[in-house]
Structure 1
Amino acid sequence: MKTIFDHRSIRKYQSTPISEELLSKILDAGTRASTTGNMQLYSVVVTRDEANKSKLAPLHFNQPMVKEAPVLLTICADLNRFNRWCELRNADAGYDNFLWILNAFIDASLFAQNICLAAESEGLGICYLGTALYNAPEISQALGLPKGVIPVTAITVGYPDHNPPLTDRLPLDAVVHYESYNANTDERVNKLFAEKEALESSAKFVVENNKENLAQVFTDVRYKKADNIYFSEKLTTFLKEQGFEI
């Protein structure tokens, strides 16, 4: 519980390497996560080599920690391995559809979170990189991913070189619904987001981006509709190229 409640994203790392023994222990912990039908529909590509991290860095929008962290993990949804096993056993695999994309994404996400908890419990810091989905085709090519394998997220791992404050979260009432879903009325939404909007950091974001409120920072600056459509179409095309029917 302490590891969970102390979590923060680490974006600055010491140069101290992670031992092979510790890394293997952390990755092994990842495999103990829950998984669809015990099929383990995930894989991870470990990148330590400086040259290879430099090749991947632009695909993660050149975020400095990609090259700075001693280890970069690319977590993939992987149906290739299970499909190949089925083929070799004369079993007719029907796992090339949208349902199984979601199942594999869930498996990969659970695997990734176990890795992060294990890493943090050993004194390491981590940071999720959502950019793996944004540039999935290019990352796939760089890592030699075969059909049926999709990069879901990347994680930087290393010994922290800073101690950032905990990130704010919405109140528990925002995400917990008992028995049935609570309608998001105007009053409820205003109440749930009031604390986040009142933060000094939120006010700073609004001023820096010359916006009227925090919501506009998200819609007009951080995650713009035009970008969302572009990357969605790019990802959809890639999924089809990887052999999925969607």
Structure 2
Amino acid sequence: MDLLNNHVSIRKFQNKEISDDLLKSIIYSGTRASTTGNMQLYSVVVTKEAEMREKLAPMHFNQPVAKNAPVLLTFVADFNRFSKWCEYNNAEPGYNNFLSFTTAAIDALLVAQNVCVAAENNGLAICYLGTTTYNAKGIIELMELPKLCFPITSVALGYPDENPDLTDRIPVEGVIHNERYVDYSEVTIRELYAFKEGLESSKQFVAENKKETLAQVFTDVRYKKADNEFFSQSMLEVLKEQGFLV
């Protein structure tokens, strides 16, 4: 519990290599995650070479962590491998659809989180890169991913070279619903987000971006509607190209 409760994202890593045995062990722990029907609908692409990290960096909006981490793991929703197994055994696969993509995406994310916990349990640190799906097409081309494969998330991995404070979270009561979903009143919303809004770092964030509220930083700067619509359309097009949408 302490390991989970003290998790922080690390963006600065020591210049220290991760042994192949340790990396394989960590990924093995990932494969012990729950998986739909025991089909294991995922693959993990390991990137260690500096040249390849340089090529991947633009896909992650040139975040320094994407280039500076000793290892970058790309978790792929993969129905290619299972479909080939079906075909080689006189079984007709029917996985070229959105439900199958969603199933494989869930499998890949479960594995990714297991890998992260295993890594931290071995003294390593991690940082999720939420940019993977934004530029999926470029990653697919660079990694030569076949049809029925789609990159879901990436994780920077290495030995930590910083010790940041815990990131704020809304109270756990704010995410728990007993038996049925109870919608949030304005009073409840303001109570849940009061601590986050009151942090000095949040106030500085608002001031730096010349906004009135922290919420406006998210809607107008960080995760804008126009960007969401653009990348949504791009993602749908790539899913079609990869065979998950007709």
Give the C-alpha shift of residue 52 in structure 1: 0.5
CA distance in 2, matches of 1:236, 1:65: 27
Structure 1 segments, 4+ long, off by >2 Å, are: none
Give the C-alpha shift of residue 245 in structure 1: 2.2
Per the alignment, residue 46 of structure 1 pairs with 46
Per the alignment, residue 125 of structure 1 pairs with 125
Q: Secondary structure at the match of 1:131?
A: coil
Per the alignment, residue 72 of structure 1 pairs with 72
Deviations 1:33-84 (A, max 9, x none): 0000000000010000010111001111111111111100000000000111
Q: Secondary structure at the match of 1:229?
A: helix
Per the alignment, residue 145 of structure 1 pairs with 145
Deviations 1:151-193 (A, max 9, x none): 0001000000101111000101111111111111111111111
Percent pairwise identity: 58
CA distance in 2, matches of 1:13, 1:111: 23
Per the alignment, residue 202 of structure 2 pairs with 202
CA distance in 2, matches of 1:224, 1:65: 23
Q: Secondary structure at the match of 1:239?
A: helix
Q: Secondary structure at the match of 1:111?
A: helix
Per the alignment, residue 5 of structure 1 pairs with 5
CA distance in 2, matches of 1:157, 1:26: 11
Per the alignment, residue 21 of structure 2 pairs with 21
Moved more, 177-186 or 115-124: 177-186
Per the alignment, residue 182 of structure 2 pairs with 182
Give the C-alpha shift of residue 94 in structure 1: 1.3
Q: Secondary structure at the match of 1:62?
A: coil
Structure 1 spans left out of the alignment, 5+ residues = none
Structure 2 spans left out of the alignment, 5+ residues = none
Q: Secondary structure at the match of 2:233?
A: helix
How many residues are paired up?
A: 246
CA distance in 2, matches of 1:245, 1:213: 39
Give the C-alpha shift of residue 100 in structure 1: 1.1
CA distance in 2, matches of 1:164, 1:76: 29
TM-score between the two structures when normalised by the length of structure 2: 0.98
CA distance in 1, matches of 2:153, 2:96: 20
Per the alignment, residue 213 of structure 2 pairs with 213
Q: Secondary structure at the match of 1:134?
A: coil
Counterpart residue type for residue 131 of structure 1: T
Counterpart residue type for residue 12 of structure 1: K
The question of 1:243 aligning with 2:243 is answered yes
Q: CA RMSD in A?
A: 0.8
Counterpart residue type for residue 101 of structure 2: I
Q: Secondary structure at the match of 2:218?
A: helix
CA distance in 1, matches of 2:141, 2:123: 33
CA distance in 2, matches of 1:225, 1:135: 17
CA distance in 2, matches of 1:3, 1:150: 30
TM-score between the two structures when normalised by the length of structure 1: 0.98
Per the alignment, residue 34 of structure 1 pairs with 34
CA distance in 1, matches of 2:60, 2:18: 22
Moved more, 109-118 or 60-69: 60-69
The question of 1:113 aligning with 2:113 is answered yes
Moved more, 17-26 or 87-96: 87-96
